[in-house]
Amino acid sequence: METSLDKGLTVVLGPANAGKMGNVLKWWHERLSRSPVIVVPTGPDARQMTGEMARRNGCVVGQSPALTFDGLVRLLSPDPPRYATELECMLIAVRILQETSLEALDPAAHLPGVARALVSLLQQLGESGRRPEELDHILARWAFEPQTDRLARDVRRLAAAYARGCGDRGVIDRSTGVREAIGLAEGWTRPVAFYGFTSFTPGQRALVAALSRRVEVLMTFTHDSSRSVNLSPDDEIAWWKGQAAQVVYVTQATLAYDSPAIAYLERHLMYDGPRAEPPPASAPPGGVRFLLASGRRAEAELAAQEIAGLLRKGFRPADIAVIVRNVGAWSSLLEHVFASCGIPHQIDERRVLRETGMGHAFLSVLRGVALDDAHSMFAYLRSPYSGIAREAVNDLELRYRRGTATGARVLGDLAQERGLGEVERLWSLMEEGDGAPGAAPGRANVQSVVPGPVCARFQPEAAGALAQEMLSAGLTGGLVGSREMQEDAQAFRALQGALSAMLHAAPGEDGRGLDPRLALQLLAEVAVPRGRTADGEAVQVLSAQRARARRFKAVFMLGLVQGEFPGRPGRVSLLSASQRARLDAIGEGLFDPEPDEEAALFVSAVSRASQVLYLSARDAEDDGGDATPSYFWGSAKQLLGVENDEHSSRTL
């Protein structure tokens, strides 16, 4: 591949495993004197690419490691932007929904999910690449539509209020960061290569185009015009080809796959052209293998059994990937099964606070205090994070169940009688508000939180102190360096960061804090990063979307079930399909189209394996309900001439 422009865009197109990474690395190496930059989709991709750069050059001293698009924006900016976290975005949205005078949205503004849908819509509008004044003009035009005028005025007010809220906090969203970086491209002098992307937002496209007017830019896409499905839509490819000074086509490498069966499957899936005879079945551990399990747990255990066999045959853990459609649906189960089998693993997804031990306990006590829920309070007291002896909790529960009165407040009174002052102090999580006349402070004031008006407010400072006590209690008797201790430390850091954000967002002009029900909803979804295992030491668990720029000797595709893969991952939306289409028409292409990419994702995931591919389906769920194996699973069997009953299986 020859690309020798002083500036301008070169687009490289070719099927999977056509040597595009090698071309990018060669391009990078030839331009080391000009400090080139390689940009990839995700953090794990950046770490893998940086490792390849080091192997190619011996080291990357004096050069930038591979970056994500966010990293490129930071590199362009003399003062790197502080992006709003997901929690900060939600806090701003909640605040403006409470404070903005609304019309169409007023009856629903307080409902769970509306704030998240608003943030999603505003982010999509920002990703259109339009300036705020352009978006405001488009929304103003939309307000002249008789059927949506009230909704359009609401969205316009909320968009302006959201921008002010970000400004007050000194944060920006990612689309604003990209838009501001476009103006900084004039001073950029380093060549840039983009690898592993399937599409870009309009704002990102504008930034890449601005860079290409200043320096040499290399863009690679996995795209095969002979195939009916591609992860990169035809419209996306056509746009980049129209911008390019030159377009280079590469073909699949002769030795792209160690297994002829995988090569055949990848080439002929979703392909309408003539087909050769499928290759003969490969001897283990190569080729394509089919798994069928009864239940999700049985599917995970069957995969673990096969992975353990590969490890015994000499595969390194990092040679193996487990690819699923949605990591969140699998993470807890795979973590438990792999840990019980002694399989080192790395899950490429952030958990949320409610999925961690410490987070679950913290949310339980907050729910108990805020909602007068004794069941949740006992869940906290029985956890290792309460610091209360099990015998004392058992005695307290026995006395509580002998009585007729119920609720967390009753439980708190009993605890105080038994000398358990640490339970009484839990009500410091709430502060008395404008309760009924004569209402007692603290616990007595929480009764009206549900279902009536909120009369108590969440106190982030007290919650932070409780989290510190919970961490100390959880560490007592723990094994230093254990997985559980690391998880607790990560959950604690995430929780403290969220509480700090709430502390700065909660006070209003009247000094009130957050509604505790809202605090529960927001804290439950706080992201908790997972600890990283050294690259060579762990089986990688990742989504089909995030696997697209990486390769492995062995790939396990789990969950090939109708409704899961292929599935239809939903996106919260403030607008109906017709409202979205009309706004898109007024804005002349305001939103990117949402293609059906399930088939393309499956083909892409198949191409990530070089030596052995396991395709796993289920015929039942854990509760005994029916499950239907995906037509991807059946089509692959049919293509390779595999009999219907030719697969490894595991029952409930």
What are the pLDDT digits (tens) for 601-638? 999 999 999 999 999 999 999 988 999 999 999 999 99
In this prediction, residue 541 carries a pLDDT of 95
Strand pairing partners for 617?
292
| Helix ranges (DSSP H) in 144-228 | 149-169, 174-184, 202-212
Report the distance separating Cα 49 and Cα 271, nearest Å.
31
pLDDT reading at 1 higher than 60: no
Report the distance separating Cα 203 and Cα 180, nearest Å.
10
Q: Which of 595, 601, 615, 598 is nearest to 548 (CA)?
A: 601
In this prediction, residue 255 carries a pLDDT of 75
Say which range, 2-6, 74-78, 315-319, 383-387, has the weakest mean pLDDT: 2-6
What are the pLDDT digits (tens) for 468-483? 999 999 888 665 567 7
- Reported CATH class of domain 8-80+177-249: alpha beta
What are the pLDDT digits (tens) for 510-541? 334 678 888 898 999 999 987 665 555 899 99
pLDDT reading at 454 higher than 90: no
Query: In the predicted model, what is the mean pLDDT of the chain?
Result: 87
- Higher pLDDT, residue 487 or 218: 218
Task: Looking at mean pLDDT, say which of 174-188, 300-314, 511-525 comes out highest.
Answer: 300-314
Please state whether beta strands 345-347 and 351-352 pair in parallel, antiparallel, or not at all (unpaired). unpaired
User: Considering the domain 355-528 in this protein, what is its CATH number?
Assistant: 1.10.486
Eight-state DSSP code of residue 83: B
Q: Which of 284, 258, 215 is nearest to 36 (CA)?
A: 215
Q: Domain map of the chain by residue range?
A: 8-80+177-249, 86-171, 262-349+534-650, 355-528
Yes or no: say if 256 and 56 are a contact pair by the CB < 8 Å rule: no
The confidence band for 505, taking pLDDT boundaries of 50, 70 and 90, is low
Question: Residues 571-597: what's their mean pLDDT?
Answer: 81
CATH superfamily of the 262-349+534-650 domain: P-loop containing nucleotide triphosphate hydrolases (3.40.50.300)
- Please indicate whether the domains covering 8-80+177-249 and 262-349+534-650 agree at the CATH topology level: yes
In this prediction, residue 383 carries a pLDDT of 94
- Residue 337's H or E segment, with its range, is helix 331-340
How many beta carbons lie within 10 A of that of residue 565, not counting itself?
A: 23
What are the pLDDT digits (tens) for 389-421? 999 999 999 999 998 889 999 999 999 888 888
How large a percentage of the chain has pLDDT more than 90? 58
Q: Is 572 helix (H, G, I), strand (E, B) or coil?
A: coil
In this prediction, residue 273 carries a pLDDT of 66
In this prediction, residue 483 carries a pLDDT of 73
What are the pLDDT digits (tens) for 112-166? 789 999 999 999 999 988 999 999 999 999 999 998 999 999 999 999 999 999 9
In this prediction, residue 241 carries a pLDDT of 96
In this prediction, residue 62 carries a pLDDT of 63
DSSP string, 261-300: HHHHHHHHTT--S--PPPPPPPPTTSEEEEEEEESHHHHH
Q: Is 172 helix (H, G, I), strand (E, B) or coil?
A: strand
How many beta carbons lie within 10 A of that of residue 571, not counting itself?
A: 9
Contacts (Cβ under 8 Å, ≥6 apart) of 72: 37, 39, 181, 192
CA of 634: how far to CAs of 128, 294, 556, 616, in Å? Answer: 39, 17, 16, 11
In this prediction, residue 640 carries a pLDDT of 92
Q: Which of 550, 545, 563, 548 is nearest to 629 (CA)?
A: 563
Say which range, 12-26, 259-273, 404-418, has the weakest mean pLDDT: 259-273
**pTM, full prediction:** 0.81
Half-sphere exposure of 205 (CA within 13 A, CB side): 19
